[in-house]
Amino acid sequence: FPCAYRTPFTHTLHLFLSGHMIDTLRWKRRVMKGKRSSEAVVRKVFTRTLLLCALCFVSAKITSERRVGGVTSSCTMVLNGFSREHVLTALALHYSAMEVVNKVRVVWGNTKQHPEFFFSHTKSVSRLGDKIEVIMTPTDDLNDRFLPIAPLRESRCVIIADDDVYVDERTVNAAHALWMKHQTQIVGLFPRAHTVTSQGTFYNSNPKYRYSIILTKFMVLDSAYLDAYSNQMPASVRDYVREKGNCEDIAMNYLVTSLSNKSPIYLRDSTKIDFGGKTGIYNRPGHVNARDECMRQIPELLDSQLLIYNDVAFTANAEERFMGDSFVHGTEFDLKELDFSHIQDSADSIQAVERLRHQLVTIRSKSL
């Protein structure tokens, strides 16, 4: 019986089913005693059974969109947006078309640029545009990626993603399914690690045998951690992230690990594409040193030294030994080389991103 989540509708359906079973037994006894004809009872039972089947189908549709095991069976996606409007538009439409995504929220942090292209082209696709909304933040603050926006409280599954990372629907579904089994942990596609030496703790951007951090390039987590980050975590940590313009992902990993006492989970995916190329934040001068400094400062501010290693890489169907991530620093492609000037509508935008994705896949396959 498909009613995994009780609502007034499904509760009534349960009562109707129970009554139908009792009536069937009562009619059977009457037939056996000769008080009712078997043909009449068969017709009545058949009619009720057909009605129940129809109601069960409706109930299954309702409950599939509601909750499973106490959490929603769909996710709210939060995309970080700043400047790449054409790619952001295509990715927002790409994710909003997925059944597992109930809403795409773009947190736009560029206070000097209004996302006109994004607004006009997402709204032109009404079927998908209705699932997309933009949160205009008053400042450029990486902490805003984890704002506990009120409607998110209705969807405990939250996907945090960058505006330059492409993940196909099969992988998004696999990440959601894996998170449903590990709801107190972070599930993601881009693993990193910490390294402890006699000189202190350092950031490892290319772990080979175990990991302890999942980047915000694509991570799935419980929305309760957004509340914890914004309202329970020491303000000094958020102040440090705001000042440095970096390491909000490290702070979130420390926070989740300290609250759950569990490691993050890496989902291996050979199709993910990082559109950032050479323009990503990790190419900025001093980025590595800044990450190393974060690994020392954030634990002191958070009063937690806890990061837990995991040496297991998960796939959609199995677990295997972690042997590194094949897309550690994205691809050898500069996004600035792509010409978006011809794009006139959202369909062109999606096609442009698909062309770029194929180019990146080709470049990567030649380098293997």
The amino acid present at 210, given as its one-letter code, is: R
Taking a C-beta distance cutoff of 8 angstroms, is the pair 220, 176 a contact? Answer: yes
What does the pLDDT read at residue 139?
Answer: 83
Mean pLDDT of 64-92: 70
- What pLDDT is attached to residue 221? 96
**What's the pLDDT at 155?**
72
Residue 47's pLDDT band (cuts 50, 70, 90): confident
pLDDT in tens, 110-129: 777 777 766 666 665 545 56
Provide the pLDDT for residue 142. 92
Percent of the chain with pLDDT over 70: 62
Q: Which of 288, 263, 275 minimizes the C-alpha distance to 354?
A: 275
Q: Looking at the DSSP assignment, which residues form a beta bridge with residue 72?
A: 67
How far, rounded to the nearest angstrom, does the alpha carbon of residue 282 sit from its chain's CA centroid? 22
User: Is the confidence at residue 280, as pLDDT, over 70?
Assistant: no
Tell me the chain's radius of gyration from C-alpha atoms: 25
- Rounded to an integer, the average pLDDT of 154-176 is 89
**Between residues 158 and 281, which one has the greater pLDDT?**
158
Q: Is the pLDDT of residue 11 over 90?
A: no
> Residue 95 pLDDT > 70, yes or no?
yes
Query: Which comes out higher in pLDDT, residue 138 or 14?
Result: 138
| pLDDT of residue 22 exceeding 50 | yes
Alpha-carbon distance values, 260 to 3, 79, 267 (Å): 31, 25, 19
Dig out the tokens for 256 from the structure: 């989740």
What is the β-pairing status of strands 165-166 and 273-274?
antiparallel
Would you state the pLDDT for residue 16? 56
* pTM (2 d.p.): 0.73
β-partners of residue 106 are 79, 134
Secondary structure class of 84 (helix, strand, coil): coil
- The winner for highest mean pLDDT among 95-99, 136-140, 212-216 is 212-216
Per the model's pLDDT, the better-predicted residue between 84 and 1 turns out to be 84
pLDDT, residue 353, reads 59
| Run of H or E including 15 | helix 8-32
